[in-house]
C-alpha cells in the first residue's frame, strides 16, 4: 500500500478531496488517504447505477471514436488512395506510427491528469480537450487527399483520444471501491463490442459519404462523453499537493519498475500479447475479407458489421457474467487465463476459414474470450496498481500494453505475410499463438488469485 501520510506524517486532511464515489448519488466526500486506506469500502462508498450508467455510456463512446476508424474507415480510406496492392504497407505506416505516438501519449496525459489542479477537476479537462482534438484529427483524415496527410490526421487523433482515454480510465480507481470493480469492469467490458457494432453500423449507414462515415461516430460519441464530463463530481487536487516537476519524474511517466511491481509487469505482458492478437484481427480483417474470402469491396462494410455483431452478442453476455462471477468467487486469474486461450483458438478458426460463414464462427468464439478477458482483466490490473495515488499514470503505463501492439502488428504483419506467401491464414495463426502466450503470462501474478 502506498504511503498516504503527508510530509512529516501530516493528517489525511492535507490531501486532496475525492468527490462522492457514487458520482451522481450525492454520497459523502472522502480524502485520497481514506480512499487508499479503505479499498474495501462499506456500503456508503459504493457507486450507484446512475454513475455506472453514465460512465459506461462515456467509455462506450470513447471506444466508438477509436474503433470505427480502426475497424473499417481507415483501411478503406487508405485503399481508396493507393489500391489493394499497396494498401497493407500504407496502412502499416499510418496505423503503426499513430499507435507508437499513442503509446507515449497515454501515460503522458495520465501523468498530466494526476497533477492537474484545475477547479474543474483532475480528469474532466482532459476528457474535453481529448475529444475536441481527436475529432479534429479524424476530420483531417476524412478530407486527406494523400497518405502523408492521412498520417498527420491519424497521429493527431491518436494523441488526443489517448488523452481522453487516460483520464476516463482513471475514474475507475478514483471512484469505484475494490469490492465493485469486477462488476463495473464487467459492465465497461460490454463497451467495446457495442461500440464495435455501433461503429460498423454507422459506417455502413453512411456508405457513399466518406466524411460522414468518419465524423458520425465522433458526433454521437462526443455527446455522451461531454455529458459524463459535465455531470462527473470529479476528484480535485489542491495546488499545495501538486507534485513537483522534474526530468526524472517525467521519465518515470513511461515506466514502472518490474522488480518492485512484478504482478503489474506480468499483467502488462499478458495484456500486451492478448491485444497483439486483437490488433492483427482488427487491422487486417478488411484485407482478409478482400483477399482470402474473396469479398467485393462494396460488401466489406456489411460483412465486418455482421462479423462484429456475431462477436459482440457473445461478448456482452460473457463480460457481464464473467465480471460478476469474478467478484463473487474472489478470483481473477482463472478468468483471464481461460479467456486468452479461447481467443487464441478463435484466431485459429479464422485462420482456416474458407468462406464468410467460417469467419463468422471464429468471430463468435472470439467474442466469448474477448468478453471474459475485458471484464476481468481491468479489475485485476486495478487490484495490482503499484501506487494508488498515481493511478492515472500507472494505468497510462499499463495502457502502453494496449497501444504498442497496434504499432507492432502493422509493422510485422507484412513480414509475416511475406513468409506465409501472402496468406492471411498464417497471419491469424500467429495471432492465435500470441493470445495463448498472453494466457501463460498471467500465471505468475501472486497478489491476485
Select from 64, 76, 66 the least CA-distant residue to 299. Answer: 76
Q: Which residue has the higher pLDDT, 14 or 340?
A: 340
Residue 33 pLDDT greater than 90, yes or no: no
Strand partners, 18: 30
Q: What is the mean pLDDT of residues 373-399?
A: 71
The answer to whether residue 20 scores a pLDDT higher than 80 is no
Report the mean per-residue pLDDT for the chain.
78
Query: Is 92 part of any domain?
Result: yes
Residue 111 lies in a domain: yes
pLDDT of residue 144: 93
In-domain check, residue 299: yes
Residue 70 carries which DSSP code? I
Q: How far apart are CA 190 and CA 432, in angstroms?
A: 22
Of residues 1 and 311, more confidence is placed in 311
Q: Is residue 313 part of a domain?
A: yes
Q: What are the two backbone dihedrals, phi and then psi, of residue 17, each rounded to the nearest 5 degrees?
A: -90, 140
Output the pLDDT for position 393: 63
Main-chain phi, psi angles of 258, to 5 degrees: -70, -25
Residue 100 belongs to a domain: yes
Cα-trace Rg, the chain = 21
- 46 exposure class (CB count in 10 Å sphere: 0-12, 13-18, 19+): middle
Determine the Cα–Cα distance for residues 300 and 285; give it in Å rounded to an integer: 9
pLDDT for the residue numbered 142: 93
Q: Is the pLDDT of residue 136 over 50?
A: yes
Predicted local distance difference test score (pLDDT) of residue 190: 73
What is residue 359's predicted lDDT score, i.e. its pLDDT?
92
Judge whether 247 lies within some domain: no
Q: What share of the chain in percent tops pLDDT 90? A: 24
Residue with cell 450525492: 26
**Average confidence (pLDDT) over 134-150:** 94
| Nearest in space to 305 (alpha carbons), one of 178, 204, 206 | 204
Give the H/E segment covering residue 244: none
- pLDDT given for residue 13 in this prediction: 27
pLDDT at 389: 62
Q: What is the pLDDT of residue 208?
A: 76
Residue with cell 500479447: 273
Gap between the Cα atoms of 125 and 160, Å rounded: 12
Q: Is residue 284 part of a domain?
A: yes
Asked if residues 326 and 375 have their Cβ atoms less than 8 Å apart, the reply is yes
For the ranges 110-124, 188-202, 215-229, 233-247, which has the lowest average pLDDT? 233-247
The yes-or-no verdict on residue 449 having pLDDT over 50 is: yes
pLDDT the model gives residue 44: 37
For the beta carbon of residue 8, count every other beta carbon within 10 angstroms: 6
Grade residue 390 by pLDDT with cuts at 50, 70 and 90.
Answer: low
Q: Distances from the Cα of 326 to the Cαs of 319, 329, 408, 449, in angstroms?
A: 10, 6, 31, 10
Distance CA 219, CA 73 (A): 16
Distance CA 353, CA 332 (A): 32
Nearest in space to 77 (alpha carbons), one of 62, 64, 87, 65: 87
pLDDT of residue 229: 92
Q: Is the pLDDT of residue 392 over 80?
A: no
CA dihedral 445, 386, 181, 52 (to 10 degrees): -150
What is residue 54's three-state secondary structure?
A: helix
Specify whether the CB–CB gap between 49 and 180 falls below 8 A: no
pLDDT of 252? 62
Rounded CA separation 429/347 (Å): 6
The pLDDT of residue 246: 62
- pTM of the shown model: 0.65
Grid cell, residue 246, equals 522534474
Mean pLDDT, to the nearest integer, of 21-41? 31
Confidence label for 332 from pLDDT (cuts 50, 70 and 90): confident
Q: pLDDT value at position 345?
A: 95
Sign of CA dihedral 248, 254, 256, 257: negative
**Hey, which residues does 31 pair with through a beta bridge?**
17
Find the CATH number of the domain harbouring 406.
1.20.1250.20
Structural domain harbouring 231:
18-26+46-238+255-441
Residue 185, pLDDT score = 75
Mean pLDDT of 70-84: 85
Q: Which one is predicted more confidently, 6 or 395?
A: 395
Among the residue ranges 12-21, 193-202, 261-270, 271-280, the one predicted with the least confidence is: 12-21
Provide the pLDDT for residue 9: 31
Instruction: In whole angstroms, give the CA distance from residue 426 to residue 57.
Output: 37
Q: Give the model's pLDDT for residue 36.
A: 34
pLDDT greater at residue 371 or residue 365: 365
Domain count, the chain: 1
Share of the chain above pLDDT 70, in %: 82
More confident of the two residues 226 and 259:
226
What confidence score (pLDDT) does residue 222 get? 94
The answer to whether position 181 is within a domain reads: yes
pLDDT number for residue 16: 28
| 42, pLDDT greater than 70 | no
Flag whether pLDDT at 271 surpasses 60. yes
User: Is 174's pLDDT higher than 70?
Assistant: yes
Can you point out the beta strands (E) in 290-363?
none
Bridge-partner residues for 263, per DSSP?
A: none
| pLDDT at residue number 21 | 27
Q: Read off the pLDDT of each residue in 132-153 and give the average, rounded to a whole number.
A: 94
Average pLDDT of the segment spanning 172-192: 77
The per-residue pLDDT for 227 is: 95
What number of CA atoms fall less than 13 Å from residue 22's CA on the CB side? 15
Rounded alpha-carbon distances, angstroms, from residue 77 to 12, 14, 48, 144, 147: 54, 53, 42, 9, 9
Greater pLDDT, 392 or 48: 48
Of 256, 232, 281, 278, the C-alpha closest to 374 is 278
pLDDT exceeds cutoff 80 at 55: yes
Amino acid at each position: 500500500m502506498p504511503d498516504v501520510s503527508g510530509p512529516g506524517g501530516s493528517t489525511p486532511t492535507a490531501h486532496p478531496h475525492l468527490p462522492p464515489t457514487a458520482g451522481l448519488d450525492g454520497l459523502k466526500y472522502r480524502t485520497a488517504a481514506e480512499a487508499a486506506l479503505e479499498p474495501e469500502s462499506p456500503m456508503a462508498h459504493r457507486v450507484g447505477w446512475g454513475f455506472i450508467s453514465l460512465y459506461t455510456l462515456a467509455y462506450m463512446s470513447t471506444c466508438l471514436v477509436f474503433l470505427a476508424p480502426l475497424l473499417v474507415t481507415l483501411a478503406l480510406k487508405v485503399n481508396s488512395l493507393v489500391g489493394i496492392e499497396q494498401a497493407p504497407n500504407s496502412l502499416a505506416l499510418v496505423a503503426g506510427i499513430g499507435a507508437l505516438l499513442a503509446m507515449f501519449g497515454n501515460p503522458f496525459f495520465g501523468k498530466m491528469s494526476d497533477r492537474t489542479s484545475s477547479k474543474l477537476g483532475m480528469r474532466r479537462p482532459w476528457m474535453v480537450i481529448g475529444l475536441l482534438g481527436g475529432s479534429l484529427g479524424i476530420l483531417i483524415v476524412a478530407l486527406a487527399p494523400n497518405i502523408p496527410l492521412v498520417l498527420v490526421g491519424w497521429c493527431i487523433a491518436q494523441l488526443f483520444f489517448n488523452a481522453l482515454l487516460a483520464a476516463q480510465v482513471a475514474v475507475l480507481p478514483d471512484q469505484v471501491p475494490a469490492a465493485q470493480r469486477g462488476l463495473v469492469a464487467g459492465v465497461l467490458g460490454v463497451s467495446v463490442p457495442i461500440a464495435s457494432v455501433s461503429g460498423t453500423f454507422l459506417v455502413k449507414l453512411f456508405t457513399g459519404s466518406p466524411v460522414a462515415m468518419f465524423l458520425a461516430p465522433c458526433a454521437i460519441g462526443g455527446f455522451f462523453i461531454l455529458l459524463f464530463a459535465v455531470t462527473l463530481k470529479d476528484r480535485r487536487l489542491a495546488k499545495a499537493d501538486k507534485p513537483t516537476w522534474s526530468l526524472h519524474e517525467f521519465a518515470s511517466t513511461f515506466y514502472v519498475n518490474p522488480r518492485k511491481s512484478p504482478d503489474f509487469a506480468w499483467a502488462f505482458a499478458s495484456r500486451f500479447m492478448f491485444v497483439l492478437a486483437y490488433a492483427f484481427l482488427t487491422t487486417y480483417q478488411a484485407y482478409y475479407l478482400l483477399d482470402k474470402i474473396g469479398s467485393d469491396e462494396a460488401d466489406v462494410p456489411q460483412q465486418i458489421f455482421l462479423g462484429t455483431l456475431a462477436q459482440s452478442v457473445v461478448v456482452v453476455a460473457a463480460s457481464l457474467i464473467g465480471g460478476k462471477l469474478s467478484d463473487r468467487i474472489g478470483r481473477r486469474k482463472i478468468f483471464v487465463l481461460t479467456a486468452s486461450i479461447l481467443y487464441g483458438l478463435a484466431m485459429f478458426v479464422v485462420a482456416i476459414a474458407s468462406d464468410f460463414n467460417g469467419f463468422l464462427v471464429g468471430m463468435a468464439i472470439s467474442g466469448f474470450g474477448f468478453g471474459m478477458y475485458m471484464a476481468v482483466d481491468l479489475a485485476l490490473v486495478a487490484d495490482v496498481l503499484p501506487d494508488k495515488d498515481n493511478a492515472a499514470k500507472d494505468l497510462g503505463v499499463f495502457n502502453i500494453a494496449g497501444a504498442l501492439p497496434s504499432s507492432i502488428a502493422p509493422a510485422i504483419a507484412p513480414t509475416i505475410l511475406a513468409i506465409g506467401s501472402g496468406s492471411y491464414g498464417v497471419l491469424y495463426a500467429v495471432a492465435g499463438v500470441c493470445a495463448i502466450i498472453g494466457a501463460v503470462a498471467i500465471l505468475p501474478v501472486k497478489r491476485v488469485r
